[in-house]
Amino acid sequence: MDLLIRNASLPNGRTGVDIAIAGGRINAVGVALAVVAEQEIDAGGNLVTPPFVDAHFHMDATLSYGLPRVNSSGTLLEGIALWGELKPKLTQEALVARAMQYCDWAVARGLLAIRSHVDICDDRLLAVEALLHVKRRVAPYLDLQLVAFPQDGLLRSPNAFANLKRAIAMGVDVVGGIPHFERTMAEGAESIKLLCELAAEKGLRVDMHCDESDDPMSRHIETLAFHTRRLGLHGLVAGSHLTSMHSMDNYYVSKLLPLIYEAGVAAIANPLINITLQGRHDTYPKRRGMTRVPELLAAGIEVAFGHDCVMDPWYSLGSGDMLEVAHMGLHVAQMTGQEAMHACFMAVTETPARILGLGGYGLTPGCNADLVVLDAGCTVEAIRLRAGRRYVIRRGKVISQSPAAQATLSLPGRPAALDFRLHAA
């Protein structure tokens, strides 16, 4: 064997588990495995999980905070306007450099798969070319899936549909959209029809920014579910944000949720950004804005959390930590029961892996040996502590590691070594 991890705790609650790895894949999982390996890691009862997955991100804008200026209102629309000002000044070199830096951060955080939307409304398609280049460079250690995203509206922006088709031909993986940003509700609905038909023709997945608004009458998710069923795209479509659902009346939502479930459409909430951008027009009470995560889960709908933005025109913070995303999602959705908190961990690991269609993801024999050893004993503790990543492993090779998080106290009558874990071995 190439690598053996001893005494691991798993996300499903199993403890004292060994994981044997050979040829870049998991070979065996069990208790006290009688194998010898070239390298051995004692997990010490810590949680071993498949890597974090970010189902919704904008890598073309990441680390551009302050360019050309800071978003003074903090609103979604000013962020879009700022991005529009920045686009003509973008260079491939700067786009690649910022994206590569972010990918380094991601690896150190155990984030080894990212779905990034890339704006195709610039006729030069500079960002598309840059991120396709980055995708190839990071492929040995990070899966980067790209979405052709018409930021300025598929029908509202003159060349957007032609540019989107060009981006797909260049190798972009997923069809994106933004129906609520079209000029009218009718044009928003038409854009969904056109984009879903293109995806069905090309055999591609769909991920649309959908109803990122506080307007309860923004109901494009209903149209997305309809065309998903009409075209047989079950399991291939995601609606991102869905924040208008936060403001919809309960009767309409009681009709909507079964439609989403029947169509097999997944939901992607973005807790850090939704709680920051939504409700900006409210005085008090002020809406939280994030979509109805507990209700979506109860309806059997797949729900993932995305980071969305890091240091860009929409959000001034972030570091690629999906545990921070899960932590915020837990609070905003008031998911404080044990099962609910565990679901928040799944929303940044296994669930987005399914939404992205990642092959070989998991902890069973035959899966890719892509793993993260966390400085925590269980999924809930990992979220509570935003646990450190002791080891990040890609195809059986350690590609990042960090020491355990401990402090040394000098307090009379108290232990010198302080460990924040309650599940420490």
9: enclosing H helix or E strand: none
Question: How many whole angstroms separate alpha carbon 359 and alpha carbon 356?
Answer: 9
38 in active site:
no
Tell me whether the omega of the peptide bond preceding residue 285 falls within 30 degrees of 0, making it cis.
Answer: yes
CB 296 within 8 A of CB 339: no
Catalytic residue selected from 182, 197, 212, 295: 212
Residue whose structure tokens are 């939504």: 278
Question: How many whole angstroms separate alpha carbon 269 and alpha carbon 28?
Answer: 35
Nearest to 222 by CA among 197, 193, 183, 195: 193
Task: Look up residue 227 and give its two tokens.
Answer: 């065309």
Nearest to 212 by CA among 168, 273, 141: 273
Question: How many whole angstroms separate alpha carbon 8 and alpha carbon 56?
Answer: 29
Question: How many whole angstroms separate alpha carbon 356 and alpha carbon 240?
Answer: 13
CA trace torsion 152, 155, 156, 161 (10° rounding)? 50
Question: How many whole angstroms separate alpha carbon 7 and alpha carbon 46?
Answer: 8
- Would you call 20 helix, strand, or coil by DSSP? strand
Question: How many whole angstroms separate alpha carbon 370 and alpha carbon 107?
Answer: 11
CB 356 within 8 A of CB 55: yes
Nearest to 359 by CA among 2, 138, 113: 113
Q: Distance of CA 377 to CAs 283, 396, 422, Å?
A: 42, 22, 8
- Would you call 418 helix, strand, or coil by DSSP? strand
Nearest to 330 by CA among 384, 387, 385, 257: 384
Question: How many whole angstroms separate alpha carbon 347 and alpha carbon 290?
Answer: 14
N- to C-terminal Cα separation, the chain:
26
Question: How many whole angstroms separate alpha carbon 240 and alpha carbon 395?
Answer: 30
- Would you call 77 helix, strand, or coil by DSSP? helix
Dihedral sign (CA 160, 165, 171, 173): positive
Q: List the catalytic residues.
A: 212
